[in-house]
Structure 1
């Protein structure tokens, strides 16, 4: 068994990117991703925190007074459990090069920097109102407890990122369980944010502080990084929040020619459910509608399936495209940007079709 620099056990279900790992999509991803197959993206080492001594500090002029809450205090605020996707902002970065010929720096995620878990915690809105939220608060800065992030000798401080108050009061969770178990160290023990439908960096791990302010407060994680840079990006268009709509074929094991086969996959979108999925088996020359299967909720993924008969043996190029309930679709070409964020164009996948022996 392999172990990376953080002494994390790995399995064949992962692609290793240094100290980050992504789920191998072709290994039949379950509807709810097991913890030991959930992707990991950390800027620094997970901190060692005693859950009994941990406290959440709530500060800022957007509150009537500073407050600290223990894990027991949070548990007293009527916990909820939600099945939600969490996706790295750079998921699919590899395809800027592979499909669009514009390689971008950073972890070369393919498609597996996403997972769906059952998160247990309390709505952030409930926490803020419990401690006394001023009506003119506009921003909530979530700050982690991990070591300060140092790049090229520059100390950028602890990982932190602001949320607009509208999102903070909508559906954000302060979580301490993942799939019914305490959060593992790599996933934010003892407490983290989960920000449904938004870029993964917004879901700050190892949560230690929430600074609530009456003016927007920037951080390097929404100005220097995790913001669109490059030609054509400026102002609010460059701000990264909501994730785009995406879709994929689940498994790509060889299938026979001349016989009906059922292809299956998933589609998902930030802050919306899926309205429809189309499948092409000829590289996008023609399309057929797929059937949505099972649950279909916002900020989660939904399964789809389509029955297909391949008329010839050989390699076939599969492509899927989805539309969400807000009318957003996958673009033919993903908008370019210097850091390779938010790749959302249909991904071309190869399927081997074998000759049918009668």
Structure 2
């Protein structure tokens, strides 16, 4: 079914192609090696072809998203752990709110059943590690960075159900002069360089906490899996993943700004392009695109292939996606398969009929509704956060 390459097909024609056109042959990812069936500290299975194990973490294979819908199934959702997944019981779990930002400076406890009995909200939102794409600072830009060498699989989108953090703060008696809240997890203390940094915790401005943050107890209509925060986790839509603390056990509410290693030494931008003390603590994620296609996949010449992928931005809904099949020399628009929306991603597709054999590079470039476009090069920072450049995706036409 040949399709002219000079002009993209109409949406109706493309939808027919989505149902009928072949995708690239599944070729294992070159980077990272096979994932183990399970790894120390992660509860769920991590089968090869779905995950690459990276220390205490598990990166999703982005190509494995191509047969999923807009939501990421829990068994394909990436895992970011500082230590190991705690196996907790909702019957023994208590959330404690405490600190100078509560009226009377008292502490207030909430049991799991109490949260479930409060008015609930449901939000579809992506969670993404701040270091997603970090490996491309080295592989594409030749720059040294520290941290887990993620490709683009440290992201997932889920439908989260829970109670608004604002509701819990009001019931606890938040004071009028409170400025920060700091959720803390129930996982083990994190040790770095022989020094214990305590359990994972990161402050949020009260204004953000009272806006769209939820305490989630369900993921895609089911109780949270252990690896994703059971019994309750924080979900901070569109912000870097460290803000969405898993296994939350207590929340400090303060009338003074709060600090932790996760908003001072880490999750800020350090480097030549930034002040000596680093940038402000990271908040919103950047704009990105990814192909649902293995790296170094083999594609047959003279056949129409359906290239699919996903794009997202923490700043605004996706507005357009452009595709290049020749390393950036020419670009054409992809067809968006979903209505762009805040906090989520958009699936897209475009047909490609390669005529010549040999190696080439696919590229996807996204622009969001706020005018942010993926650049050719990302500004370097020493910890490799917020990579936003167009990613070069090599394939071979045979």
Normalising by structure 1, we get a TM-score of 0.94
**C-alpha separation in 2, matches of 1:273 and 1:335:** 23
**2:270 aligned with 1:229:** yes
Highest RCO, 1 vs 2 (Cα 8 Å, sep ≥ 6): 2
Q: Is the 8 A contact 1:28 1:251 kept in 2?
A: no
Q: Contact 1:23–1:38 (CA<8 Å) still a contact in 2?
A: yes
**Structure 1 contact 60–213 (Cα < 8 Å) conserved:** yes
Q: Classify the secondary structure of the residue corresponding to 2:202.
A: strand
SS of 1:221's partner is coil
Greater strand fraction, Structure 1 or Structure 2 = 1
Choose from 37, 43, 54 the match for 1:2: 37
* Shift in Å, 1:36: 1.4
Q: Is the 8 A contact 2:129 2:154 kept in 1?
A: yes
Give the drift of 1:63.
1.9
SS in 1 for 2:203: strand
> Could you say which residue in structure 2 is the equivalent of 1:345?
389
Q: How does 1:137-148 map to 2 (within 5 A)?
A: 137-148=178-189
What is residue 196 of structure 1 aligned with on the other side? 237
Shift of 1:7: 5.9
Asked whether the 8 Å contact 2:269–2:278 carries over to 1, the reply is no
Aligned residue runs from structure 1 range 132-211, under 5 A:
132-211=173-252
Verify the 8 A CA contact 2:308 2:349 in the aligned structure 1: yes
1:271 Cα offset (Å): 4.1
What SS does the corresponding residue of 1:224 show, helix, strand or coil?
A: coil
CA distance in 2, matches of 1:80, 1:323: 29
Task: Tell me which of 279, 284, 290 is aligned to 1:242.
Answer: 284
Q: Could you tell me how far 1:336 is from its partner in structure 2?
A: 0.6
For 2:170 and 2:260, locate their aligned partners in 1 and report how far apart those are by CA, in whole Å: 24
Q: Is the 8 A contact 2:315 2:368 kept in 1?
A: no
Look up the match of 2:75. Answer: 36
CA distance in 2, matches of 1:51, 1:298: 31
Q: Distance in 1 between matches of 2:355 and 2:37?
A: 42
Aligned to 1:85: 126
Offset at residue 308 of structure 1 (A): 3.0
**CA apart distance, 1:292:** 1.2
Counting only pairs closer than 5 Å after superposition, residues 209-224 of structure 1 correspond to structure 2 as 209-224=250-265
CA shift, 1:313, in A, is: 2.2
Instruction: Spell out, residue by residue over 1:215-260, the C-alpha distance to the aligned partner (whole angstroms, 9 max, x if none).
Output: 1111001101111112222368442110001112212554443444
TM-score with structure 2 setting the length: 0.85
Contact between 1:94 and 1:103, CA under 8 Å: does it hold in 2?
Answer: no
Within-5 A mapping of 1:94-109: 94-109=135-150
Q: Is the 8 A contact 1:268 1:301 kept in 2?
A: yes
Give 4+ residue runs of structure 1 displaced > 3 Å after superposition: 235-238, 252-261
Matches within 5 A, 1:9-88: 9-12=45-48, 13-29=50-66, 30=68, 31-64=70-103, 65-88=106-129
Unaligned runs of 5+ in 1: none
- Alignment gaps of 5+ in structure 2: 1-35
Question: When the two structures are aligned, how many residues end up with a matched partner?
Answer: 354
Query: Residue in 2 aligned with 1:277?
Result: 321
Q: Distance in 2 between matches of 1:173 and 1:254?
A: 43
| Distance in structure 2 (CA, Å) of the matches to 1:303 and 1:219 | 36
Aligned-residue offset at 1:307: 2.8
Superposed CA RMSD: 1.7
The equivalent position to 1:335 in structure 2, one of 379, 384, 391, is: 379
2:162 equivalent to 1:125: no
Looking at structure 1, the residues matched to 252 and 328 of structure 2 have their Cα atoms a distance apart, in angstroms, of 48
8 Å contact from structure 1 (residues 144, 159) kept in 2: yes
TM-fit CA distance, 1:48: 3.6
Q: Select the residue among 305, 322, 332 that pairs with 2:349.
A: 305
Deviation string, structure 1 residues 275-324 (Cα, Å, up to 9, x no partner): 11111111111111112112321111111122333232222211111111
